[in-house]
Chain A
Amino acid sequence: ASCVQHRLVVRDASSLQIRQLYTCLDQIQYIEWSSDSLFILCALYKRGIVQVWSLEQPDWHCKIDEGSAGLVASCWSPDGRHILNTTEFHLRITVWSLCTKSVSYIKYPKACQQGVAFTKDGRYMAVAERRDCKDFISIFVCSNWQLLRHFDTETQDLFGIEWAPNGCVLAAWDTCLEYKVLLYSLDGRLLSSYRAYEWPLGVKSIAWSPSSQFLAIGSFDEKVRILNHVTWKKITELDHPATIASKKTIVYKEVEKSPTVDTERLSFPPTRALASSLFSTQSKYDISQVPLSLQYIKPVADRANPKVGVGMLAFSADNCFLATKNDNIPNAVWIWDIRKLKLSVVLEQLCTIQCFQWDPCQPRLAVCTGSSRVYLWSPAGCVVVQVPGGGDFQIVSLSWNSSGDSMLLLSKDHFCVCYLEREEV
């Protein structure tokens, strides 16, 4: 599904044929599929309206008007039948039910990056709240929206919460001024609290491993600390230095290949294809010799939220690899082998890394840097894929299909789907 201005276009994923076309009242800011893929919600923040469309019955429609309360965020509940709207200024979260037309309110939600977290199986929802300058977490049962547990956290300013994939442990972390990660059990007991250091800037990003065995914490001191789920103590620290010295890591460096142009076939005025091929640069991967030093950027010291530290963390689906990005070295993706807890590969690109995502089925990583190429890495090697059709397609973000066969590449105005062939065995 994609939205253009005020229209919602639904296409088939394998053929990109247009299936449905819906029109909303105003410009759409956000769309989301329901979990059973039967409904799509379109949130129009400016108008404070959420419109829901059905895929099975194109005639069915639903409009939720928040009125004067305004709308800041909207999302589906895991069962696909409730919509959670966050009103302006994070005054409250309204839970609208599509089955019963009933409404529930959650007061005092916290205005933080990740204030609402659902468990993977969709049974429980954790909401971060703040009352009287203190942080609380409420756990609700998603089936009937009953409050299960309500407890306070020892954080100064809760920044985010995330459930472990097994649904039994909730990780909550503090703002970057204070390095503190708290782990709560499902019934609200504090299991453990972890603090690596006191004064310098703290946690930047957090990721759970898919087996819930490890919690990776990326912080502003350019290190990733991994905690284990048995003792909740640090088992290792992964450092991101600018020089790579170990002989066992493979460094793939993207190098530009200058395009070969046949000077005889130049015509005036130059044809479009020729022009695009002249200006679009090909690139490929080269293996660099270790030791080598990467491009290191010293952050500007007097700005808030500096571009320092480990900003992106992602575990692979088979729990074997961890991909990280150190914002000090913005062109490199670091891939760690979790079984050995060592750095195995570094991908050095020509431009800043915008986004990377693991394939949900295999250990395959797709990276985009804002150029018109998408980069794929797997333990077998890595490859550069050029988006055909001219060099105008600047990939800003990407998203895998849940089957792992295709990938969505988004630029500012366009998107394209990249299909991956499965190897015939």
Chain B
Amino acid sequence: MGDWKTITVPVLSPDNKNILPYTSERKRSPTSMNSQVLRLSLPSSKNMHSFFSAFCTEENIEQSISYIDRELTTLGFPSIYAESKGKELNLISIINCINELLVLQHKNLRAQEEVEMQHLKLGSDMDHLQNCYAKLKEQLELSKREIVGLQERDRQLQSKNRNLHQLLKNEKDEVQKLQNIISSRATQYNHDMKRKEREYNKLKERLHQLVMNKKDKKIAMEVLNYVGRADGKRGAWRTDKTEARNEEEMYKVLLSDYEQRQKQLLLENAELKKVLQQMKKDIISLLPPQKQKPKERSEDGLVLSDQEEDIGELNKENMWELSCETVREQLTNSIRKQWRMLKNHVEKLDNQVSRGHSGALNEKDVISREDHELETEKLELEIQQCKEMIRTQQQLLQQQLTCDDETTLLLQDCYLLEERERLQEEWSLFREQKKNFEKERKSFTEAAIRLGLERKAFEEDRGAWLKHQFLTMTADCKSENVTTPSAFLRSNLTDDVCLLLGSDPDIRLVKSASRQRKHPAVLSAPVSAEPCQTSQYIAQNSVASEKPAADNLPNLWVESDDKEETE
């Protein structure tokens, strides 16, 4: 529709230029009425007028006439010119042409109307069809949805069907089983029935036989001699007493059996109770004293005290071996409580451990498992060692304490013997040493005597030499100082000698002690000779005094000589 309008616009413009395209279009129009339908709009009378005047004016009449003639001849109409070659117009042919043109125009108009009608019809048909199409589409959608719904229902029904089939099968199986049972029972019944019937028949025959048989075999027993009873007693008459006794015995048997069973059960019970109590104690010991909340502490304290009371009570109860309901219930309830607490505690520990792995705060509280285990191992080892020690000590103690008198005496004797032997050994040792020392002493005394003699000789010589010297020296010069000190020294020396002689035993003892090492016993050694002592003293003195002057020596020697001479 829109297309057509655009075309009609240029057609309506009253321009000379557009005449040619218009006429060409006009040519086409009777031959083809396809898509590019041109609407031949009848211009209005005013336009026509202007249009006509536009085409033909006074100037170009000839031209327009020739043009029209040309067009008409091309269209197939006869020429509007007269047959002569002049420019005279054939009016008849012009009118005919005009008529023809009018007819043609009418025909075209009609055709156009028809086409327009058809066009409208088609348009309405199209609309109708489009509506139909839309409706059908909706219907299709609806039906599709319906189909889906129906399919769903169908599926559900099928599954229900399957279930019902299954149920049916199960029921059938059960029925089959029951039938089997019934059949087996029936066969069993039949079998028993048949057996009974057979026996019945036999009985009947037997009865028949017996009735017929007059000669009846005697039922008897032949024994060569009586056999004694197995337990040696004689048979008893059947009286009421025996019946009562039988009853008694029977009840005794039953009672003894029941008593035995009860004993066993009591034992079991006691054991189990012990185990439970042990468990309870262990659980209580496992639970740590909680320091965190005072509330909990009070609770624990209460509970603990309760349990302690319980333990006390139960211990008492067990001592009396009561097994009443309340005690049992108490025990089990307390154990359950303890167990729950332990569980909570363990859970808390678990939480702590898991938190401890992530956080570092609780590490102090939580002892790592390995440390714990190591410690426990160490403790166990210690315990083992201590136990062993205790055991050995106990054994020793026992040996000592639990000996009989005889054994103690023996032991004492043994000890005495031991001691005596030891003493004897030591004595022998001492004796040997004593001998050795005596030998030594003798040798020493001999040596000392020799030494003394030698010294004497030496001193005599020395004295002689000194005298000689002295005499020569005094002959030379006066030496008063020499005499007084010598006299002084002499007196000193004599004092010292006396003192030392007095304290000889000490010196001797000391010396002997130094020579003979460990000798607690007193030696009854004889006093050695004097010259030995003196020689010793002199030697000591000579050693003790730091720098015995050479002057003193000769004096000493002189003094000793003198002393010896005097003594």
Contacts and interface: CB of A to CB of B under 8 A. Distances in A.
Are A and B physically bound partners? yes
Interface in B499-536: none
A281 B345 CA distance: 69
B228 to A, nearest CB: 7
A141 B217 contact: no
- Chain A, interface SS category: loop
Contacts of A273: none
A251 B346 CA distance: 45
B181 A148 contact: no
Contact of A61 (B218, B224, B250): B224
Interface stretch (A232-240, A300-308, A326-334, A359-367): A300-308
Contact of A306 (B178, B184, B216): B184
Given A68-B219, A88-B206, A186-B253, A177 B229 contact: no
B236 A199 contact: no
Contact of B230 (A36, A88, A101, A168): A36
Interface stretch (B98-106, B239-247, B350-358, B406-414): B239-247
Contacts of B227: 39, 54, 81, 98-99
B219 A65 contact: yes
A256 interface: no
Interface in A331-354: none
- Chain B, interface SS category: helix
A302 B253 contact: no
Given A65-B217, A99-B229, A201 B184 contact: yes
A305 to B, nearest CB: 7
A217 B206 CA distance: 39
Nearest to B189: A177
B108 to A, nearest CB: 104
Interface in B247-278: 247, 249-251, 253-254, 257
Contacts of B187: 302-304
B238 interface: yes
Contact of B243 (A88, A146, A185): A146
B202 interface: yes
Contacts of A14: none
Residue among B183, B191, B220, B223 with the highest chain A CB neighbour number at 10 A? B223
Contacts of A54: 227
B188 interface: yes
Contacts of A68: 210, 213, 216-217, 219
Size category, A interface: 35 or more
A68 B115 CA distance: 137
Contacts of B191: 304-305
Contacts of A97: 235
Nearest to A63: B222
A291 interface: no
Nearest to B177: A200
A305 B188 contact: yes
Contacts of B218: 65, 67
A177 B250 contact: no
Nearest to B237: A144
B226 interface: yes
A60 interface: yes
A100 interface: yes
A370 interface: no
B234 to A, nearest CB: 9
B253 to A, nearest CB: 6
Contacts of B242: 144, 146
A187 B251 contact: yes
A82 to B, nearest CB: 10
A168 B217 contact: no
B188 A201 contact: yes
B222 A99 contact: no
18 contacts: A60-B224, A64-B221, A67-B216, A69-B219, A79-B231, A80-B230, A81-B227, A81-B229, A81-B230, A98-B226, A144-B235, A144-B236, A146-B242, A148-B246, A166-B257, A167-B253, A186-B253, A302-B183
Interface of B: 178, 180-181, 183-185, 187-192, 199, 202-203, 206, 210, 213, 216-231, 235-236, 238, 242-243, 246-247, 249-251, 253-254, 257
Top 7 A-B pairs ranked by shortest CB distance? A304-B191, A67-B219, A67-B217, A168-B257, A98-B227, A62-B223, A141-B246
Interface of A: 35-36, 39, 54, 59-69, 79-81, 88-89, 96-103, 111, 123-124, 141, 144, 146, 148, 166-168, 175-177, 185-187, 199-201, 301-306
